[in-house]
Amino acid sequence: MSMLLKAAPMEQAKQARQWSPYVDNGGSVLGVAGKDFVVLAGDTRMSYGYSIASRNVTKIVKLTDQCVLASAGMQSERHTLHKVLKAKAIMFENTHQKQMSTKSMSQCLGNTLYYKRFFPYYTFNVLAGLDEKGVGAVYGYDAIGSFERVPYVCTGSGSALATSILDNQVLFKTQPQNKRDLSLEETVNLVKDVFTCISERDIYTGDNAEIFVITKDGIKKEVFKLRAD
Amino acid sequence: GRTHRKGSSSAPLLAQRGHTRPDMFRNDYDTDVTTFSPAGRIHQVEYAIAAVKQGSACVALKSDDFAVLACVMRKESELGSHQEKIFKLDDHMGIGISGLIADGRVLCKYLRTECLNHKFVFEAPIQVGRLVKQLSDKSQVYTQTSEKRPYGVGLLVIGYDETGPHVYETVPSGNYFEYIAQAMGKRSQSARTYLEKYFKEFKTMELGNMIEHALKSLKGASEKPLTKANCAVAYVGKNTPFTVLADEKLAPYMALVDDEKDESKEGKSEEKES
C-alpha cells in the first residue's frame, strides 16, 4: 500500500517545438456595404512575430470590375489564394463572355476554401462588390469557407477592436433611435477612423490603409496613412 | 524582308490538276494517318489542310506596333446566327479560325488554359511564338498516332509581346510560320494577292489604316458583300489589349470600305482609336 503512495510522479514527455506550416502575418481588413456602393479596406503592414517584414504589402485583389477581395492572415496563403481566384475569374470570363457576378464569386471563394478543408488556407477573407441589383454586398468568411452576406465585417488582428465600433456606427445597435443609412463619404470617413483606432492599440495594424470604393462607375482606390509604430 | 509563303506546299498534286476536292482521288494510302504514300506524303494530313481551305476566310497583318485580324463569319441559314471565329486567348493575343470550327473551339480552350497557367506560374504573359510552338507540337502528335485524326482547323494567331507584334499561322500538319501578312480559308488567294500588293506599307501604318486594308483584302474572299454583321475584326498591340470589333463598333470601318474612297482621302476619314 505504502509503495503505491510513494509511486514516482509521472514524467513529463519532453516537448520538442513542432514545426508549423502556418505563420500569422497580422493585419486587419474590413468591408462596409452601402445602398449603391461598397467600401473595402485593408492595412498594408506585414508582420513576422514582433518584427515588421514590410510596410507596403497589399492584402487586396481586384477580381472583376465590380468585386474585390481582401484577406488577412498568412501572406503567402493570401497571395496564392488571390492568384487562384483571379485565374478562376478569367476562366469564367473566357467561357461565358461576361464577368462573374459578386454572388457567384462569393460562392466560388467559399468552395475554393472548403476544397482545402484538411489543410486550410490561413486567410480571413472579406469579399466586397455590387450585387446584381447594384446594391452593396459584403461577405465575411472563416478559414474553411463558411460565409455569410453581412452589412459589414472586420477580420484579422484588429477585428475585435473594430467590430464593436461598426456595430455602433453602422447599425446603430446602441442607439436605434438614430438609425439611418450612411452616405458614401460618411462610410469612407468611418472606415478611416476605424483603422486609425485599430492602429492605436493593435501592434500588427498600421503603416497605410488601402481603401477601395466600388460604385456603378467602377473601382477607386485611396491610400490612407496610418501610424507607423 | 519576309514575304508570305505561297499557298500550301503539301498538296502540289491537287493544285496541278485544279481539283479542290481531294476525295475525287482514289488513294490507296489515305485511309490511315500513320501510312505514308509511295510518293512520301501523308494524305490524311493533306486532307485536313484541305478542310481548312473549305472554311470561310481569315486575314491578318502586322505593323511595327500592332497586329490586326479580320474574319468572314459564315451563316448556316438566314434563320441562324453568324459563326464566331475570333477568340481572345489572353490580354495580349487572340486567334481567328478557319476549317472545322468545333476543333477550333477545343484548341481555343487549350490555348486559353495554357495562357492562364503560364501567367499563374511565371507572373508574365506567355510569348506568342512559344504558345504557337506548343500548339504545333500538339498538332504533330495527331499526324503520327493511329486511331486519331489531325485537327481540321487552321489558326491565325495575332499577339503582342516583348519582341513586338506577331502574326502566326498554324496548320493541321503541325507546321507554323510567322508572317507580315497572311490569309487562309476559302478564296484566300485573292486576299493574299491584295496583301502582297500593300505589305511593304504595313510596317509604319496606323492602326485605322491597317483595319481598312484587312477589310478590303477580305472583300474578295467573301461570297456575300461584307457588312458589319458578317465579319469581325480584332487588333492588339503596344499598350493595347486584344480587342474585338463587331457589329456597331465595326460600322465606321465598314463605311470606309464600302464607299471605295480613293487612297488620298483615307487619312481624313479615319476613325479615332479609343
* CA gap B74, B224 in Å, rounded: 9
Q: What is the pLDDT of residue B82?
A: 86
Searching chain B, which residue's CA lies closest to the CA of residue A79? B120
What sign has the CA pseudo-torsion A197, A200, A201, A207? positive
Amino acid at A94: N
Average pLDDT over chain B reads 87
The three grid cell numbers given for residue A144, joined into one nine-digit string: 474553411
Are the Cβ atoms of A90 and B116 closer than 8 angstroms? yes
B105 touches chain A (CB under 8 A): no
Residues of A in contact with B88 (CB under 8 A): 94
- Taking contacts as CB-CB distances below 8 angstroms, the residues of chain A near B120 are 83-84, 87
Tell me how far apart the alpha carbons of residues B214 and B57 are, in angstroms, rounded to a whole number.
Answer: 11
Q: What is the mean pLDDT of chain A?
A: 94
Count the alpha carbons within 13 Å of B13 in the hemisphere toward its beta carbon: 16
Q: How confident is the model at residue A8 (pLDDT cuts 50, 70, 90)?
A: low
Q: What is the pLDDT of residues B5-26, one digit of tens each?
A: 444 444 455 444 444 555 555 6
Q: In the predicted model, is pLDDT for residue B207 greater than 70?
A: yes
Between A27 and A2, residue with greater pLDDT = A27
A87 to B119: CB separation less than 8 angstroms, yes or no: yes
pLDDT number for residue B28: 82
Please give the pLDDT value at position A4: 59
How far apart are the C-alpha atoms of A18 and B185, rounded to whole Å?
65
Nearest CA in chain B to A82: B120
For residue A84, list chain B residues with Cβ-Cβ distance below 8 A: 120
Element (H, E) at A125: strand A123-130
- Distance of residue B124 Cα from the nearest chain A Cα, in angstroms: 13
CB contact at 8 A, B242 and B236:
yes
Query: What's A119's DSSP letter?
Result: S
3-class DSSP state of B65: coil
Using a CB-CB cut-off of 8 Å, the residues of chain A touching B105 are none
Cα–Cα distance measured from residue A190 to residue B131, given in angstroms and rounded to the nearest whole number: 49
pLDDT at residue B261, rounded to an integer: 43
Q: Which three cell numbers stand for residue B216?
A: 478590303
Encode pLDDT of A174-228 as tens digits. 999 999 999 999 999 999 999 999 999 999 999 999 999 999 999 999 999 999 9
E-strand stretches of chain B: 58-62, 66-72, 86-90, 93-99, 153-161, 164-170, 176-179, 181-184, 231-237, 240-245
Over residues A140-158, the pLDDT tens digits come to: 999 999 999 999 999 999 9
Return the closest-CA partner of residue B82 out of B72, B67, B93. B72
CB pairs under 8 A between A and B: 11
Q: Which of B84, B105, B108, B112 to mutate to test the interface with A (most CBs of A within 10 A)?
A: B112
* Structural contact between residues B235 and B209, judged by C-beta atoms closer than 8 angstroms: no
Provide the b/e sequence for B96-133 (b: ≥16 CB within 10 Å): bbbbbbebbeebbeebbebbbebbeeeeebbbbbebbe
CA distance A64 to chain B (A): 15
pLDDT band, residue B172 (cuts 50/70/90): very high
Mean predicted confidence (pLDDT) in A78-96: 95
- Greater model confidence, B256 or B70: B70
B71–chain A nearest CA distance, Å:
19
Question: Can you give the pLDDT at residue A2?
Answer: 56
**Given an 8 Å threshold on Cβ–Cβ distance, is B116 in contact with A83?**
no
The tens digit of pLDDT for each residue in B109-151 reads 999 999 999 999 999 999 999 999 999 999 999 999 988 999 9
Summarised one tens digit per residue, pLDDT across range B182-196 is 999 999 999 999 999
Q: How many C-beta atoms lie closer than 10 Å to residue A42's C-beta?
A: 30
* Residue B120, min C-alpha distance to chain A (Å): 7
Which chain B residues are Cβ-neighbours of A94 within 8 angstroms? 88, 112
With an 8 Å Cβ cutoff, are B112 and A83 in contact? no
Residue at A30: amino acid letter: L
Q: Do A94 and B88 touch (CB under 8 A)?
A: yes
Contact check, Cβ <8 Å, A87/B112: no
Helices B207-219/B251-258 angle, 10° precision: 60
Q: Quote the cell numbers at residue B28.
A: 490507296
Non-local (6+) Cβ contacts of A107 within 8 A are none
Kindly state whether B88 is in contact with chain A, defined as any CB-CB distance less than 8 angstroms: yes
Share of chain A above pLDDT 70, in %: 94
Which phi and psi (to 5°) does residue B189 adopt? -60, -35
Q: pLDDT by residue (tens digit) across A56-83?
A: 999 999 999 999 999 999 999 999 999 9
Grid cell, residue A206, equals 498600421
Where residue B256 falls among pLDDT bands split at 50, 70, 90?
confident
Taking an 8 Å cut-off on Cβ atoms, the answer to whether B119 and A94 are in contact is no
Mean pLDDT along residues B159-173: 97
Whole-number pLDDT of residue B127? 97
pLDDT score for B273:
44
Residue of A nearest to B89 (CA): A94
| Amino acid B81: pLDDT | 86
CB proximity under 8 Å: B 116-135 to A: 116, 119-120
Run of H or E residues at A29: strand A28-33
In a mutational test of the A interface, the residue from B116, B118, B123, B126 whose CB has the highest number of chain A CBs within 10 Å is B116
Give this complex's ipTM: 0.80
Residue B268, pLDDT above cutoff 70: no
> Which residues of A are less than 8 Å from B110 in CB distance?
none
